[in-house]
Structure 1
Amino acid sequence: MSSPLGPRRGRARKAIGHELVRRSLLFSLSIVLSTLVGVVSIPVLIGQLGDTTWARLAVLQSISQFLAVIVGFGWGATGPSTVASLPDRDRKEFFVTSLLARVIILLPVLVAGTLIAAAIVHIDPLVAALAALTSVAPAAGAAWYFIGTNRPVALFLFDALPAILGQAAALVGVLVAPSLLVYVASTASFAVLGLLASCVFVATRSADGPWRIDRSQALRGLLQDQMPGFTATFTTSLITTLPVVIVKLIVPASALPLFVLADRLSRYAGLVLAPILQAIQSWVPEAGREHIRSRARIAMLVACGIGFIGAVGMITCAPWVAPLLSQGAIAIPPLISVAMGLGFAGEAISQITGLAVLVTIGRSRALALSAGVATVAALLGVLVGTLLLDVPGALIALALTSIGLAIYRSRVALLGLAAT
C-alpha cells in the first residue's frame, strides 16, 4: 500500500519546480539582502542621528524616489513585459533608446528636485542633491531590462548589490562620523557605479542585438508611447511620496517618526512582493498569446494568496517589531497595524494585476486611469485623515485606497481576459 505522503511530496516538488516559483526565488535574492540592510539601518541611524533627524532623512528619501519615477518615465512598469515579448535581436536597441531618453530627463529633474527637497526638508542642498542622485541613477539603469530578459543574477549584481554596498558603507561612515552628508555621499557613489556597470553589461550581450538607437521614432513620439506607463508609476509614486510630506506639515514633529516607521515597515513588506512581481511580469507574456489567459489568472490567484498571508503577518508582527527597530522609541498600536496589513493586501493584488496582467492584455490606459484616481483619493484621504485622527487617519486612508484600487483593477482584468 502506497503512502499518501508520496503524492503530496510529488506535488510539492512539482510546485517548487514550477518556472514561476524558480524565477521568483532567483529574483528574491536581491530583495532579501536589500531588505535586511534596510532593516538593520533603522536602529543604527536612529541611534546615531536621533529619531527626528532619521525621520527628516526619510522624507528626503521619499522625495528622491519620486524624482526617480520621473526619470524612469514608465519603463519600470511597461519595460519588462515589452522587452520580454520582443525578438532577441531587438532587445538591446529598445534599451539603448530608452536610456537616451532617460538621461535627457535626468539632469533637469536632478537640479529642480534638489532645490525643492532642500526647501521642504530644510536641509543642505548638497545633502539633498546626493540623496536625489542615489535614487535617480538606478532609475536610468537596466533593472527593468534584466527583469524582462529573465536575468536575476545581473539584476542582483548591477542593481541591488551597488545599493546594498552603498548603504553598508554609509552605515559604517555614520558610525564613524554621525552626519547625513557622509551617509548620502556613500549611497550616491555606489548608485552611480551601479548605473555605469549595468550599461556596460548590457552593451556586451551580443545575443540581444546591436547597441544602437532606434531612429525610426522621434524622442517626442517615444515619450508619448510611454505616457500610460509613466502616468501609472507617476501617480502611484505620489501615494508613496506626498503622504509623508503632508503628515510632516500637519502633525507635531514628535509624531512624525511613528508615521515614518509604519511607512517603512509597509515598504519593506512590499519588497517581499517585488521578486514575485518581477517574475510574473516576464512570465505572463513570454509563452505567447494562447497562454496569456491561463497565466494571467494564475498570477491573480498568486496575488490574492500573497496579499492574505502578508496582511496576517503585518497585523501580527508590526506591534512588536517597531520597538525592536526603534530601540524602544516608537510603538505601533493595533489599529495602525491592521491598517498596514489591509494596505499590503490591496497593494499586492493591485500591483500584480496592474503591471503583470493589465499591461499584457493591452489595458495600460485602465492602469493609468486607476492610478490617477487612486492618487487623488489617497492624498485627499491622507489630508482629511491626518487633520481628524493624526497618524492613524493617514494610514487608514492609504489602506482604503489600496483596497479600492485592487478591486477595480481585478474587475478590469477579469473582463479583459473574458474578452480575449
Structure 2
Amino acid sequence: MSAKYGSGGWATVAIAQSVGATGALIAELGWGVTGPQRVPRLSAVDKSILYRQSVSSRATVVAFAVLPVSVITWLLCDFSRISAIVISLGSLCLAFSPAWFFIGDGKPGQLLAYESLPRLVFVGIAALLIHYDFPIGWYGGALIVGSVTALSLSAICSHLGFFHWKQNWRTIRSQKEVVLGRAISGSFTSFAPALVGLVNPLAVPVFAAVDRLMRMALAILAGIPNRLQSWLGAATGRDRHLRSLMSIRYNCYLGLVSGLIFGLLAPTFVTVLFAGQVSFGYELSALSGFLLFLICTSRGFGLAMVAAGRAKHITISVLCAAGVGVPLLCVLGLYFGAVGALAGQILAETVGIVIQSRILSMKWKSNRQWSTYAASVLQS
C-alpha cells in the first residue's frame, strides 16, 4: 500500500483501521477478556451455547456500529473515502473473531485453521490485487471475507453453531462494565492514530507506522498471555492466586525482553515494511519499545484481575488511564508529533498499571483476612 499510494495512502488506511478497530473493540463485548477463563469449566453443550451467545450479542452490536463507523471514517479521511469505509468496516468485523473461545478451550490448532490461515490467504490476494492497481478497499473486503469464513468454519467444523438469540439483550447487558472499559481504553490505544490525525495530520504516517509495528509485535506475543488465560481459569483457591502472581511475572519478563528487541530492530523493519515511504529513528523505537513493555505488564495484571473476580474493576483503571492519556496524547501530539503521542500513551499505561496493582493488592489482602477469620471460627 505504501509503495503504491505513498505515505498519504498509508495514513488513510491507518485512520480507517483505527476507527474500525475501535468499533470492534466495543462490539467484541469483552468476550476476549472474560470468555477464555469461563470455557474450561463448561460441558460441551454449555460451551456451544456460550459461543453462540457471544456471536449473537456481537452481531447485534456490530449492526448498530456500521453507520457511526462509516460516518466517522468519511469525516476523518480525505483520500479514497469509499475504500477507507470498506477498510474500517473490515476492521469492525474483526469483532467476530472466535480466538477467545479456542484459546479458552485449549485448541490453538483450530484457531490457526479456521481463522488465521484463511485470513492470511485473503489478505495476500488483496495485497496482490492492490499491487496491480486495484483500489485499497480490496484490503477491507479481504478482512470481511476472512471474518465470515472464520465464523462459518468454526460453526460447521467444530459443531458450535452460529447463533443463540435467547436472552440476547441480557447477555449484552451482562458485559456492559467490561465493554465500557474496552471502549475507554480504545480511546488512547486503537483510536490513537485517528486522534493524532485530528490534532496533527502530518504526524499520522510516522506515528501510525510505529504504532502498527508495535501492535504487530503484541499480536505475535499474545500467544503467551492467551495460553495463560485457560491455565488461570482451570485453577482454584490458593493455586489460582499463585498462578496470578506467576502470570504477572511472566508477562513482565516477556515485555522487557520484547521491548528491548523491538527498540533495536524497529527502525530497520519499518523501512522494509513501508517500502521506504515512512521511516523513524531509535528515539521513537525506544519509546515504543518501552510502551510495549508496559502493555505486556498490563496484560499480566488484567489476567490476574479476571482470575480474582475483579474483571469489572478493570474499568476503573482504564478510566483513570484514559483521563490522563487522551488529553496528553492530543496536546503532546499537537506540539511534538509522534514522540508526544507515544509519551501520552506511556503515561496512560503507567497510570493504569498502578491502579490495577492497587485493586489487586486490596483484593488479595481481603482474601487473606477472610481466610484468617474463617480459620479462627473453625478452630473455636
* Same fold flag (TM > 0.5): yes
Mark the CA change 1:213 to 1:243 in structure 2 (over 3 Å): closer, same or farther: closer
> In 1, are the aligned partners of 2:55 and 2:162 still within 8 Å (CA)?
no
Q: Which residue of 1 aligns with 2:196?
A: 247
Q: Which residue of 2 aligns with 1:342?
A: 290
TM-score (normalizing by structure 1) = 0.81
Which blocks of at least 5 consecutive residues in structure 1 are unaligned? 1-44
- Give the drift of 1:314: 2.1
For 1:10-409, list aligned pairs within 5 A.
45-122=1-78, 126-202=82-158, 204=159, 213=164, 215=166, 218-253=167-202, 255-354=203-302, 356-409=303-356
- Give the drift of 1:392: 0.9
Mark the CA change 1:125 to 1:389 in structure 2 (over 3 Å): closer, same or farther: closer
- Give the drift of 1:267: 0.7
- Give the drift of 1:53: 0.5
Mark the CA change 1:86 to 1:395 in structure 2 (over 3 Å): closer, same or farther: same
Q: Distance in 1 between matches of 2:258 and 2:171?
A: 38
Mark the CA change 1:246 to 1:303 in structure 2 (over 3 Å): closer, same or farther: same
* Partner SS for 1:241: coil
Q: Distance in 2 between matches of 1:172 and 1:307?
A: 34
Mark the CA change 1:235 to 1:57 in structure 2 (over 3 Å): closer, same or farther: same
> In 2, are the aligned partners of 1:141 and 1:199 still within 8 Å (CA)?
no
Percent of aligned positions that are identical = 22
Q: Distance in 2 between matches of 1:378 and 1:258?
A: 19
Mark the CA change 1:141 to 1:341 in structure 2 (over 3 Å): closer, same or farther: closer
- Give the drift of 1:124: 5.3
- Farther off after superposition, 80-89 or 155-164: 80-89
- Give the drift of 1:178: 4.1
CA deviation profile, 1:143-190 (whole Å, cap 9, x unmatched): 211111111011112221222112101111111224213332233223
> In 1, are the aligned partners of 2:91 and 2:140 still within 8 Å (CA)?
no
- Give the drift of 1:244: 1.1
CA deviation profile, 1:346-365 (whole Å, cap 9, x unmatched): 100111221x2101111113
**AA in 2 matched with 1:222:** T
> In 2, are the aligned partners of 1:166 and 1:191 still within 8 Å (CA)?
no
- Give the drift of 1:344: 0.8
- Give the drift of 1:211: 8.3
> In 2, are the aligned partners of 1:166 and 1:188 still within 8 Å (CA)?
no
Mark the CA change 1:131 to 1:327 in structure 2 (over 3 Å): closer, same or farther: closer
CA deviation profile, 1:206-239 (whole Å, cap 9, x unmatched): xxxx988485xx3333222212221222222222
Which blocks of at least 5 consecutive residues in structure 2 are unaligned? 368-380
> In 1, are the aligned partners of 2:301 and 2:356 still within 8 Å (CA)?
yes
Cα-Cα RMSD = 2.2
Q: Distance in 1 between matches of 2:236 and 2:43?
A: 12
> Aligned residues, how many?
367
Q: Distance in 1 between matches of 2:365 and 2:118?
A: 43
Mark the CA change 1:52 to 1:150 in structure 2 (over 3 Å): closer, same or farther: same
Q: Distance in 2 between matches of 1:88 and 1:318?
A: 44
Q: Which residue of 2 aligns with 1:32?
A: none
**AA in 1 matched with 2:190:** T
- Give the drift of 1:252: 4.7
